Amino acid sequence: MAPSSTCPELLSQLGDLLGPRHVVTERDEIAPRLIDWRRKYTGNALALVKPGTTAEVAAVVRACADCRTPIVPQGGHTSLVGGSTPDLDGRAVILSTERLTRVRDVDPVNNTMTVEAGCILQSLQEEAARHDRLFPLSLAAEGTCRIGGNLATNAGGLNVLRYGNARDQVLGLEVVLPDGQVWDGLRTLRKDNTGYDLKQLFVGSEGTLGIITAATLKLQPQPLEAATAFCAVRDVDAALDLLARCQQATAQSLTSFELIPRIGIDLSLKHVAGSVDPLEGAYDWYVLVEAQGGHGDGGLKAALEGALMQAYEDGLVLDAAPAESAAQAQTFWHLREAVVEAQRHEGGSIKHDIAVPVSSVPAFLTEATAKVHEMVPGIRPVPFGHLGDGNLHFNLTQPEGADTQAFLARWDEVNAAVHDIVARYRGSISAEHGIGQMKVAENARFKPPVELEMMRAIKRSLDPGNIMNPGKVIDLD
């Protein structure tokens, strides 16, 4: 049944503002927007609205604010923490950015582009390339996620080692505030010390402080060459030694340094078409290394291979396959991406998106692996991810033949035990996916009370009516 608003006239008012076809109330069309990517959360909503300009976003927000109607901003709806899914009471309006897709300006001399929030990430990479520039933010959801969502979650992804998170890519923002005011903060400057860096408040705020409608993003030079290798390493300590050596050898040009355990390779070969193991033997741990930059003369590849050869002689690397072509590098990446998909075919997975200091990764892995084995005999840890950033997806596949529902029922308990270990290393319980609705309570367990109170103070000051994505990120009580 369609839920009703506290303001009976709200829907017709929104129809007048946007045109009726941009205010969707048909349940069939709204249904996919009410369930999250992982199908863990379902919600309900009054309507899905699709404003096409910043002014329309502002008008929608003002109308909703007048009615105290909650707004859930939605970009590509790929949140892995239920951030873009409304709650069940059905009072919220989902505000989709899908019609805000204009590239407003590209300035190759200033190395910036100003784009609207609904632009698909991949289309922005392509836009940058058309101007012989690189927009380095890259993640597996890039064909679906939208830049406003990337910024609102401070997305990480595959190139953080070299270029940083989403927050490092942004010079300016345009934001519609919870009272409907438009803040034009679309600065294109690399230096601007004129007070608080307000744009960074909105980056990572997951739609709880306002709606990002446009952003000015930094562009980088297109790298002249890339060097990629797939290596078996002695253990995770050896992988970290290799990381330092590769950084040195490539003059800090490493873009990715991804850890994959043997079980990740085995599951990918078993379940995901196109997966190929580039090496012959079976080893416990692998890393996918990529560097970008150089002078276009093959020097980067030579430098990386030199570091790998020395590491092989020193017993850190047990075998390695340098990519001989872009196509071969693609097959390495396919295998890395296949790890996520492969786990789905093995039943339930309890997931973590943690970060610890890079130097603490081996000790964390030993401790956390022992703990989860003790809690769930037969559990199959598949820890993989961005080792170079200290960010691992410590994912745990159910024991073979186990009851999936019974296993998943232990999600919170296992998360809590793993997060306790993360906290001992002064790590993060959400390295790149955000808090959404999934981790509100867990986050509150670890953040110092004074930090939580600062967050609440900011939220109350900007959004006193608590209409912006309520229930996400921070509990106000």
Q: Which residues bind ligand FAD (CB under 6 A)?
A: 37, 72-80, 83-84, 97, 117, 139-141, 145-146, 148-150, 152-153, 155-157, 206-207, 211-212, 432-433, 436, 469, 472
Q: Which is nearer to ligand FAD, 152 or 354 (CB)?
A: 152
Whether the Cβ atoms of residue 258 and residue 384 lie closer than 8 Å to each other? yes
Tell the smallest beta-carbon distance from residue 367 to ligand FAD (Å).
Answer: 25
Tell the smallest beta-carbon distance from residue 74 to ligand FAD (Å).
Answer: 5
Backbone angles phi, psi at 228, to 5 degrees: -130, 140
Q: Which is nearer to ligand FAD, 80 or 355 (CB)?
A: 80
- What's the token pair of residue 71? 């707004």
Q: Which is nearer to ligand FAD, 347 or 436 (CB)?
A: 436
Tell the smallest beta-carbon distance from residue 272 to ligand FAD (Å).
Answer: 13
Tell the smallest beta-carbon distance from residue 37 to ligand FAD (Å).
Answer: 5
Return the ∠ at Cα 81 (arms to 471 and 196), rounded to 5°: 65
Q: Which is nearer to ligand FAD, 292 or 391 (CB)?
A: 391
Tell the smallest beta-carbon distance from residue 133 to ligand FAD (Å).
Answer: 21
Give the C-alpha separation, 242 to 113, whole Å.
Answer: 36
Give the C-alpha separation, 175 to 117, whole Å.
Answer: 10
Tell the smallest beta-carbon distance from residue 75 to ligand FAD (Å).
Answer: 3
Q: Using only C-alpha atoms, what is the Rg of the chain?
A: 23
Q: Which is nearer to ligand FAD, 75 or 278 (CB)?
A: 75
Note the residue count of the chain.
Answer: 477
Residue nearest to ligand FAD (CB): 149
Q: What is the C-alpha end-to-end distance of the chain, expressed in Å?
A: 30
Q: Which is nearer to ligand FAD, 204 or 322 (CB)?
A: 204
Q: Which is nearer to ligand FAD, 119 or 304 (CB)?
A: 119
Tell the smallest beta-carbon distance from residue 142 to ligand FAD (Å).
Answer: 8
Tell the smallest beta-carbon distance from residue 393 to ligand FAD (Å).
Answer: 9
Q: At what angle do helices 262-271 and 326-344 cross, to 10 degrees?
A: 90
Q: Which is nearer to ligand FAD, 289 or 300 (CB)?
A: 289
Q: Which is nearer to ligand FAD, 288 or 379 (CB)?
A: 288
Whether the Cβ atoms of residue 462 and residue 177 lie closer than 8 Å to each other? yes
Tell the smallest beta-carbon distance from residue 145 to ligand FAD (Å).
Answer: 3
Whether the Cβ atoms of residue 415 and residue 352 lie closer than 8 Å to each other? yes
Q: Which is nearer to ligand FAD, 21 or 39 (CB)?
A: 39
Q: Which is nearer to ligand FAD, 155 or 288 (CB)?
A: 155
Tell the smallest beta-carbon distance from residue 411 to ligand FAD (Å).
Answer: 18
DSSP-derived secondary structure for 179-237: TS-EEEE----S---SS--THHHHTTSTTSS-EEEEEEEE-EEPPSEEEEEEEEESSHH
Tell the smallest beta-carbon distance from residue 210 to ligand FAD (Å).
Answer: 7
- What's the token pair of residue 468? 């912006």
- What's the token pair of residue 405? 């529902």
Listed in order, strand segments (DSSP E) in 362-463 are: 380-386, 391-397
* Residue that the structure tokens 């075919």 belong to: 345
Q: At what angle do helices 236-249 and 361-375 cross, to 10 degrees?
A: 150
Q: Specify the DSSP class assigned to residue 399.
A: P
Give the C-alpha separation, 119 to 109, whole Å.
Answer: 22
Tell the smallest beta-carbon distance from residue 390 to ligand FAD (Å).
Answer: 14
Give the C-alpha separation, 462 to 365, whole Å.
Answer: 40
- What's the token pair of residue 467? 């209409």
Give the C-alpha separation, 349 to 341, whole Å.
Answer: 11
Q: How far is CA 390 from the centre of its chain?
A: 15
354 three-class SS: strand
Torsion of CA 19, 24, 25, 28, to 10 degrees: 150
Q: Which is nearer to ligand FAD, 76 or 388 (CB)?
A: 76
